[in-house]
Amino acid sequence: MDTFDLVVVGGGAAGFMTAVTAAENGVKRIIILEGSSKLMEKVRISGGGRCNVTNASWIPNELAENYPRGGIKLLESFNRFAAGDVFDWFEKRGLNLKIESDNRVFPVSDSSLDVIGCLKKNAISRGVEISTKFFVKEILKTSDNLFTILNSEKDLIITRNIILSTGGHPSGHKLAKSLGHSIVRPVPSLFTFTTKEADLNKCSGVSIKNIDIEIELKNKSFKNRGDLLITHWGFSGPAVLKLSSLAARELFDQKYKCSLIIKWSNLEYEELKEKINYLKLNNGKLNIINLRPLPLLTKRLWVFLLDKMGINKEKKWSDLLANERDIMINSLLKDRYIISNKGPFGEEFVTSGGVSINEVDFKRMESLVCPGLFFSGEVLDVDGITGGFNFQHCWTSGWVAGIAVSKLFNKVTNQ
Ligand SMILES: Cc1cc2nc3c(=O)[nH]c(=O)nc-3n(C[C@H](O)[C@H](O)[C@H](O)COP(=O)(O)OP(=O)(O)OC[C@H]3O[C@@H](n4cnc5c(N)ncnc54)[C@H](O)[C@@H]3O)c2cc1C
């Protein structure tokens, strides 16, 4: 039976980057084993079908700040292969990229299929073998430098090096555990919030730029500023996704029950009071519904908020009572919603948790527990916020691992 130099378990972004890098750097017999019938399926659906490949955050220190878990360790590998390197890597292999105004990087074609095409073409042209519907069930370290891999049909593959690039799939965690690794409890990250707040769905589609939001859990609070989107079921948008990531573990522990506090105005209490007093004095004849105190509030949102405050929207500004004014100020500065769950469709983007990063050498992505075993991508306890950072981690860890395996391979063959 042939012995492979590298077996990649998982045909996602991280697995392909590892295989292509190893092949380009001299590793001869490489096979990607993919459990499903589809390769890079998450790349295909990513970024709404456009694939947000990375983020134009060129400085490794700044790049690492976008990972609520794993950031400091990641620096060791970002110092070798960061966002600029990813940009060049794809462009050199024929995939043209563009940077959007918010720094997110996409293919010029706006098609994730081109990212898949680029990786697949480069793998195949370098002789990487690909086997789909090969779901790895068991990995045994059979001697000092050999692994035996089995699927459910007991098909057998032998390899000198193996990389787990199984994403957030529980089987990858199980395999890593069987080889001596500890697993940090996997929980969802990057999700939206559900609220049962009556009538909020009337504001569905309203989006507000750059506002402060906060979630309050039992003993902790998390804050963020960003864009907010009101949906049919609650809240979404970059500001919410980032908060869900920052508080992923705490939210899981609280079964996704928390308070979301929205600060609709960046004015302080006294400033807002002055503004409202000014409206009462100078625009007193206008109905409250027809004159919004803050430009960012759309009419639909203003009507909803007035109903929520219990203030008669047809009232004239001059008739607003002092206690109603105080309710208005408090609501605009600290508008509270009871969050009852994550978004309804299990649409979380990424898994937080996985193989403990303390057991992996991030300069090589090799296990510190089991030599010859490598990791790349989401299988590790690393996750980023939205904006291309999760793929960036896949490309970096895949590249670093591919180089490390090639160094081992070249050392052995040159001996
Ligand atoms: C809807 C959506 C949109 C997203 N958009 C973006 C985006 O635009 N930008 C961004 O940076 N991130 C995005 N992400 C996150 C990003 O897709 C993931 O972080 C990334 O795909 C992880 O890649 P991976 O290769 O580590 O794992 P995966 O893509 O999950 O690949 C792992 C592969 O391993 C296979 N596998 C698992 N277990 C076994 C086994 N035992 N044997 C054989 N094969 C196995 C799986 O079938 C899978 O194909 C998005 C995620 C989702 C869900």
Residue nearest to atom 38 of ligand 1 (CA): 166
For ligand 1, the distance from its centroid to the CA atom of residue 368, given in whole angstroms, is 24
For ligand 1, the distance from its centroid to the CA atom of residue 378, given in whole angstroms, is 7
With a 6 A CB cut-off, is 381 part of the ligand 1 pocket? Answer: no
Give the DSSP letter string of 98-110: EE-TTSEEEETT-
Distance of alpha carbon 94 from alpha carbon 97, whole angstroms = 9
For ligand 1, the distance from its centroid to the CA atom of residue 14, given in whole angstroms, is 8
Q: What is the pLDDT of residues 117-131, one digit of tens each?
A: 999 999 999 999 999
Looking from the CA of residue 13, the nearest atom of ligand 1 is: 25
By C-alpha distance, which of 177, 184, 205, 187 is closest to 369?
177
With a 6 A CB cut-off, is 60 part of the ligand 1 pocket? Answer: no
192-348 has which CATH code? 1.10.8.50
For ligand 1, the distance from its centroid to the CA atom of residue 167, given in whole angstroms, is 5
Cβ neighbours for 73, distance < 8 A, ≥ 6 positions apart? 357, 360, 362, 382
If pLDDT is split at 50, 70 and 90, which confidence band does 349 have? Answer: confident
Query: Which pLDDT value is given to residue 346?
Result: 63
With a 6 A CB cut-off, is 131 part of the ligand 1 pocket? Answer: no
With a 6 A CB cut-off, is 33 part of the ligand 1 pocket? Answer: yes
Answer whether residue 347 shows pLDDT above 70: no
Residues in a beta bridge with 6? 30, 161
Q: 382, 69 in Cβ contact below 8 A?
A: yes
Three-state SS for 73?
Answer: helix
Distance of alpha carbon 313 from alpha carbon 197, whole angstroms = 19
Answer whether residue 1 shows pLDDT above 80: no
Distance of alpha carbon 378 from alpha carbon 372, whole angstroms = 19
Give the DSSP letter string of 133-157: S--EEEEEEEETTEEEEEETT--EE
Looking from the CA of residue 378, the nearest atom of ligand 1 is: 26
By C-alpha distance, which of 350, 2, 403, 397 is closest to 164?
397
With a 6 A CB cut-off, is 13 part of the ligand 1 pocket? Answer: yes
Q: 327, 311 in Cβ contact below 8 A?
A: yes
Looking from the CA of residue 134, the nearest atom of ligand 1 is: 43
With a 6 A CB cut-off, is 176 part of the ligand 1 pocket? Answer: no
Percent of the chain with pLDDT over 70: 99
With a 6 A CB cut-off, is 149 part of the ligand 1 pocket? Answer: no
Residue nearest to atom 4 of ligand 1 (CA): 46
Three-state SS for 302?
Answer: helix
> Which strand (E) or helix (H) includes residue 366?
strand 366-367
Query: Which pLDDT value is given to residue 414?
Result: 75
For ligand 1, the distance from its centroid to the CA atom of residue 101, given in whole angstroms, is 26
Task: Domain ranges for the chain, please list them.
Answer: 3-188+350-414, 192-348
Cα dist from 299 to 291, 295, 302, 317, whole Å: 9, 10, 5, 16
Arithmetic mean of pLDDT, 84-89: 98
Give the DSSP letter string of 222-281: EEEEEEEEE-SSEEESHHHHHHHHHTHHHHHHTTT-EEEEEE--SS-HHHHHHHHHHHHH
Residue nearest to atom 27 of ligand 1 (CA): 167
Mean pLDDT taken over the chain: 95
Strand order of the sheet with strand 54-55? 54-55, 104-107, 97-99
Q: Which fold has domain 3-188+350-414?
A: FAD/NAD(P)-binding domain (3.50.50)
Q: What is the pLDDT of residues 128-187, one digit of tens each?
A: 999 999 999 999 998 878 999 999 888 899 999 999 999 999 999 999 999 999 999 999
By C-alpha distance, which of 362, 354, 353 is closest to 73?
362
Distance of alpha carbon 4 from alpha carbon 358, whole angstroms = 28
Residue bearing the bigger pLDDT, 118 or 344? 118
CA angle 357, 358, 363 (to 5 degrees): 75
- The encoded tokens of residue 377 equal 């991508």
- The encoded tokens of residue 126 equal 């370098």
Percent of the chain with pLDDT over 90: 93
> Which strand (E) or helix (H) includes residue 188?
strand 183-189
With a 6 A CB cut-off, is 298 part of the ligand 1 pocket? Answer: no
Best probe residue, ligand 1, of 45, 166, 171 (max atoms within 8 Å of C-beta): 166
CA atoms within 13 A on the CB side of 125: 9
With a 6 A CB cut-off, is 394 part of the ligand 1 pocket? Answer: yes
The whole-model pTM stands at: 0.93
Cβ neighbours for 302, distance < 8 A, ≥ 6 positions apart? 289, 292
Q: What is the pLDDT of residues 16-34, one digit of tens each?
A: 999 999 999 999 999 999 9
Arithmetic mean of pLDDT, 345-368: 91
Q: 34, 132 in Cβ contact below 8 A?
A: yes
For ligand 1, the distance from its centroid to the CA atom of residue 82, given in whole angstroms, is 19
Looking from the CA of residue 48, the nearest atom of ligand 1 is: 3
Answer whether residue 76 shows pLDDT above 70: yes
